[in-house]
Amino acid sequence: MGNIEALKRYLTKHFAKTYYSSTYEELSEAEQEKCSKLAEAHAFLNDVIPEEYLPYSIFNFTGKVMKGGGVVTTVPPEIVEKVKDQICEFCWGSSWEDLVKVYSEGSNAETSLAAARKFMRERNIMHLRMDKGANVVVHGDHLKNLGRTMIASLIMKQAIWPRLYRDESHTTYAFLPMNELKDFIVRDTEEALYCRTCTWLAVDDVEINVGSLRARHFAFDMFDPFFLGRYRDKLPTILILRRHLSECENSLQSTYGAGISKIIKSPRTIKIALSKSEVIE
C-alpha cells in the first residue's frame, strides 16, 4: 500500500547495471521496458509480501520448522503434498507432481530452478482467478506454527509476477493483519478504501476473539459491508485463519458479518487445511 515509485526507480537502475552493465538511459527501448517491468514487479513484492517470506517459493514449504535447536514437523507429509497440489492447481492449473517433474529434469540446481520458473511463468493462470473473483481460505490448528502466512504469501507472489509479461497496470494488492485493517476502517482512512477496492487482498491473523458483546457488534458493523462489498465485486480475497475453519466458521459470521461467510462458502473459494482433521476430500 506504500508508494513504490522511489524503490522502482532504484531497482530500474539496479537491473540495468546487473543485466546490461550500463545505465538505464543508455539502453534500447526494449531493454528499458524489461528493466522497468522487473523493477515494478520487485517493488510490489517488497511492498506487499511480508519480509520474512520474500525469499521463499513453493519448494520451501516442507511442513517443518526449527524449534529448540532441532527440526520439528508441524504439518504431516501427506498434508504438505495436498497443500502443494492445491497451490499448483490454483496458481498454474497444474499439479505438484507436474512441477516436480519439470524441476527434476534439470542437470543441476540452477537449471532445475530455471526450468521450474519457466513452467510457473508460462502456466500462470492468476488472471483467470482474478476475473472469476476466486478466493482462498488458509486454516489449521490454533496456536501452531503451520505456515499459514507463508502459503498466502506464495499465492500472492504469483498474483504479482504476471506484471512482467501482461498489462497489469490496474491490478493492486494489499497484505495486512486483521487488527491493522480494523484500525484503518475505524479511522476511515485512505488505506481502508484501498483495501476495500484493491484487486488482491490478503488478511492475516483472522481471529474470532474480539472481546465483549459490544465489541463484537462493533466489529460486525465495520466488517460486514467491507467483505460483502469485496464479495459482490468479485475481488479475490485471501483469509488466513488462526483456527480450524470447522471450529470458527459460525463465530466468524456472527463477528464479522455475512460478507466473510459468503467468501468462505463461495464455490469460487478454495480451502487450504494445514491440519489432518481439517482435510476434506
Nearest to 45 by CA among 194, 145, 168, 135: 168
Q: What is the pLDDT of residues 5-45, one digit of tens each?
A: 999 999 999 999 999 999 999 999 999 999 999 999 999 99
CA distance 46 to 133: 24
- Looking at residue 211, what is its pLDDT? 63
CB 35 within 8 A of CB 24: yes
Q: In what order do the strands lie in the sheet with 173-177?
A: 173-177, 200-206, 237-241, 135-139, 269-273
Q: What is the pLDDT of residues 193-219, one digit of tens each?
A: 999 999 999 999 998 766 666 766 777
Burial class (CB in 10 A: 0-12, 13-18, 19+), 212: exposed
- Looking at residue 210, what is its pLDDT? 61
Bridge pairing between strands 237-241 and 173-177: unpaired
Q: Long-range contacts of range 14-18, CB-CB < 8 Å, 24 or more positions apart?
A: 14/39, 15/39
CB 234 within 8 A of CB 132: yes
CA distance 159 to 245: 24
DSSP character string of 190-207: HHHHHHHH-SEEEEEEE-
pTM here?
0.92
CA distance 211 to 8: 42
Burial class (CB in 10 A: 0-12, 13-18, 19+), 135: buried
Burial class (CB in 10 A: 0-12, 13-18, 19+), 86: buried
From first to last of its 281 residues, the chain has per-residue pLDDT tens of 778 999 999 999 999 999 999 999 999 999 999 999 999 999 999 999 999 999 999 999 998 877 677 787 888 899 999 999 999 999 999 999 999 999 998 889 899 999 999 999 999 999 999 999 999 999 988 766 889 999 999 999 999 999 999 888 899 999 999 999 999 999 999 999 999 999 999 999 998 766 666 766 777 888 999 999 999 999 999 999 988 888 887 788 888 889 999 999 999 999 999 986 544 33
Per this entry, what is the length of the chain? 281
